[in-house]
Amino acid sequence: MINYRIPKALKLIAVLKVIRGIGALALAACLFWLSQQDLSVLGENLFDNPYFKQVVESTEIDPTWLSNLSKFNLFGLSVLALLLSIVRFSEAVGIWYDQTWAEWLAVFTGFITAGFFMWGLVGEFNWTTLFSLCVTILIVAYLLRILLKKRSISLSKSNSAFRNQARSSS
């Protein structure tokens, strides 16, 4: 590990990763809960709710989507959301402690996330998605800058150590 002061922006990125990890964990819990319910009864109760009925009508959501989901699909999605939360928490802890592997992992997952955001924007423009895409790109660019800076510092240290060793041996 390089001996320099950890930028506060890395701490902020770690906090954002924790928030996203909590969101993924909450999604996993909700999907798991849904996978344990009788979906037909749950669907009937949802459509009896006037607020939900208003949301469905205003967003043009197909009301039959719940009947197309199976318990197995919901359980699988909950496992994927749980794995995503584990990755996010791992990134957060690693970035907080200035671990290079975590920064590379965050860059990799950031590229994947940016791809999903761009795919979402192609389907339908949404300001929230655009904002999330911009934040993701800024985070990835900043992490790449930090990683390149670390690499140049370590290369310069190794080059100076190699020169010192060459001088002492001659």
Tell whether 162 is covered by a domain: no
Is 85 within a domain?
yes
Question: Would you say residue 161 lies in a domain?
Answer: no
Residue 87 located in a structural domain: yes
* Joined tokens for residue 146: 């930090």
CA-CA-CA-CA dihedral for 103, 21, 13, 153, to nearest 10: -10
Q: What angle, rounded to 10 degrees, do the helices at 127-169 and 8-35 form?
A: 130
Show the tokens assigned to 64. Answer: 């039959």
pLDDT of residue 2: 47
- In the chain, helix, strand, coil percent, each to 5? 85, 0, 15
pLDDT by residue, tens only, the chain of 170 residues: 445 567 889 999 999 999 999 999 999 999 899 888 877 776 666 667 777 777 767 666 666 666 667 778 889 999 999 999 999 999 999 999 989 999 999 999 999 999 999 998 998 888 999 999 999 999 999 999 999 988 887 767 666 665 666 566 65
- The answer to whether residue 91 is domain-embedded is yes
Question: Containing domain of residue 71, as a range?
Answer: 8-155
Overall number of domains in the chain: 1
CA-to-CA distance for 107 and 87, rounded, in angstroms? 12
In the prediction, which pLDDT does 11 show? 93
Q: Give residue 151's pLDDT.
A: 85
Is pTM beyond 0.85? Reply is no
**Residue 128 is assigned to a structural domain of this protein:** yes
Q: What pLDDT, on the 0 to 100 scale, is given for residue 50? A: 77
Is residue 170 one of the residues assigned to a domain?
Answer: no
